[in-house]
Chains A and B, each alone.
Chain A
Amino acid sequence: MELPRRIEPGWGSASKQSPSENTAAPKSDARLMLENILQGTTQSMEQSAESANQPQDAKPRLMLMGLRRSGKSSIASVVFHKMPPNETLFLESTTRIQKDSIHSFMDFQVWDFPGQLEYLEPSFDLESIFGSLGALVWVIDAQDDYMESVARLNRTILTVQQYYPNINIEVFIHKVDGITDEYRTDTFQDIVQLISDELSDAGYENAPVHYYLTSIYDYSVFEAFSKVIQKLIPNLSTLENLINTLSNNCGFEKTYLFDVLSKIYIASDTRPVDMSCYEMCSDYIDVIVDISELYSWDHPDRKAKGEQNQEAESHAVLHDDTMIHLMEMNKYLCLVSVIRNPESKDKKGLIDMNCRTFQEALNDVFSRSWEQDQEEPGVVTEE
């Protein structure tokens, strides 16, 4: 087992990879962000120029589509509005496109698309729907007859890919909480087969389609959304390299970089995904956020008693000597790691220091001046 070890604060190639916009003429944060993202999603030059002309629509967009009652609005509410899963029963059916702007480490839009809308009819402007789209999330109700949904998805893919070949198609095979494990695998394979067969029949090989089994009653939908969002992040590989360096040197079992508000992780080390680590990290964020809600009230009589770092930091040791370490990176992101090394308790200082070094590198990568944001305290406590 590796022991914590100091990381040299050079970061080698990492900091050099930071985007060239650094040196460009003064631009707004949003604009910078936008360009980073557009570059990263390997869209063509014209497209980036085009969307720069219409700033309000230029944020990368996630589109939730699928037949009606397949669970699109429920997913959006649970993931982005923290609605408890059992309350989604009361959601009304969506009748018009719901546009949600998410302001976080990167700004993006989530469009919740009513199932009954016939967007493929010529009267709809395809450009306004699919232009500058980052990912198309297609939700299939696994507990229902999915043939119609699959057929419709195939039609959509074939239409869309002619004009916008770079859109990621993400298929959520949803509501799998209600079916048994065995049936789940069958359904999954069946749907994958149906889609890929028909696409290759139509002459579209190797379509960029990815499949996820999801349910709002567990962590799977967050996990799936994390994967979807990660594809839209321009510097993902840099981030992953940084996290790998950090976790190898500190002997972390698994490390996640979380978006605090949505609890989507935007990057993690490249070790195999371990659901149990993910659940614990995600729940630990809840613990810290909830405690912060209880004790972050403002009052003139509350005074600090000395120096302290401006970013929140927390760690807990569990009954089996597992340590969970959480460090706030900036306004939106925090780094959570699981450490299963009993010696980590003694090397806590070193771990903290390494995480700080990582924080600097991270903020270099995002090339956004987080210093401006630091005027607003209480980062873990938003909402």
Chain B
Amino acid sequence: MDMRKKKRKVLLMGKSGSGKSSMRSIIFSNYVAKDVRRLGATIDVEHSHVKFMGNLTLNLWDCGGQDAFMETYLASQRGNIFSDVAVLIYVFDIESREVERDLDTYNAIINALKEYSPNAYVFCLVHKLDLIQAEHRQRIYEERSALIRSRSEHFSIDTFGSSIWDQSLYKAWAGIVHKLIPNLTVIERFLQAFSKRIDAEEVILFERSTFLTVTSVSSEVGDLNPIYDRHERLSNIMKAFKHCAARNTHTTPASAGFVVMHTKTPQFNVFLGRFTDNTYIFLVVPPGEAAYNCAVLNTMLAREGFSKAAATGHGDGFPLPAAESPDNSNGTH
């Protein structure tokens, strides 16, 4: 069970002014997009610990991107910075005028990483996409990510286009944390069984403080939903409301938010509620008062099962023995 308490070292790198600290503040520190103007340049490395899903701690190294810092990272600090890295997130500014030079720096970083942590995941974010006209976005993003790939040595990298002004930021970061969560298969197996039992069109698990999508399952019908970026959009919607609630109830955004939300419309019913200590569950079920109430009740029962497991020392409740989790919803139907 060593995996469970593990700290994951996450390096956040990229050229100065590319938006590293901005996105970190939005995702993990409850900033809204327009607040990031207040941020100054990052000097040297800023360390922060982000608790995510309870038993996973991200040890985030936000590395200032000015050339002088970059040189020290690659020279005197090399061993310190690049050893034990679980994830490297490299941010490219789409507006940069020195693409070739950026790629050279990136390549140098990648080589250092190869030397000290060859097994790290690498994510490249092509950032500030909002500054590109909408019709060119996809093309420019693809060109740029092909270039990046060609300079990534043996690493198989994931690229995301992102902007702090829309949901693409959430998509990128949800992709990143999805790779980092231990026991994800267990969680997914549970959700699969659970959503089948309550006939849900879709079940999504959100992380509590960041509202990033941890994982989701959808039924055959739910898969037909034509809106592909719905999870990121939900993260965005929920977070926006959280800020509104915080503003108007005089609390910090970190402690504000929904306890439960029920929504019934003629096309679908939605339930949002706390699931484990660190997650929200979001259920989409077909209309029907009785079926909806039943689904909600089952969710509550499953939750009790989890908190019992948590009390007996299973941490967040998720690292359960695989067979136990579907049972939670069994007796209730």
Contact = CB atoms under 8 A, between A and B. Distances in A.
A381 interface: yes
B286 A305 contact: yes
Contacts of B220: 301
Interface stretch (A22-30, A167-175, A188-196, A318-326): A318-326
Interface residues of B, number: 47
Interface stretch (B119-127, B147-155, B239-247): B239-247
B237 A290 contact: yes
B225 A317 contact: no
B131 interface: no
The SS class assigned to the A binding surface is mixed
Interface string A340-383: 00000000000000000000000000000000000001111100
A316 B267 contact: no
A128 interface: no
Interface stretch (A5-13, A155-163, A292-300): A292-300
B286 A378 contact: no
A310 interface: yes
Given A287-B237, A287-B241, A315 B261 contact: yes
A304 B234 CA distance: 23
B266 A295 contact: no
A314 B264 contact: yes
Nearest to B282: A291
A294 B249 contact: no
A37 to B, nearest CB: 30
A294 B232 CA distance: 11
Interface string B273-317: 000000000001111111110000000000000000000000000
Given A295-B270, A302-B286, A319 B257 contact: yes
Nearest to B261: A316
Interface stretch (A43-51, A198-206, A278-286): A278-286
B248 A304 contact: no
B284 A295 contact: yes
Contacts of B230: 294-295
Given A316-B261, A377-B267, 7 more contacts: A283-B244, A293-B227, A295-B201, A304-B286, A305-B286, A316-B272, A319-B249
21 contacts: A276-B248, A284-B241, A286-B237, A287-B241, A294-B225, A294-B227, A297-B225, A297-B227, A302-B221, A302-B286, A305-B285, A305-B290, A308-B264, A308-B292, A312-B265, A316-B258, A316-B261, A318-B259, A319-B259, A322-B249, A381-B267
What 9 A-B pairs are tightest by C-beta distance, nearest first?
A: A306-B288, A305-B288, A276-B248, A316-B261, A314-B263, A312-B265, A305-B291, A283-B244, A304-B287
Interface of A: 276-277, 279-280, 283-284, 286-288, 290-297, 299, 301-320, 322, 377-381
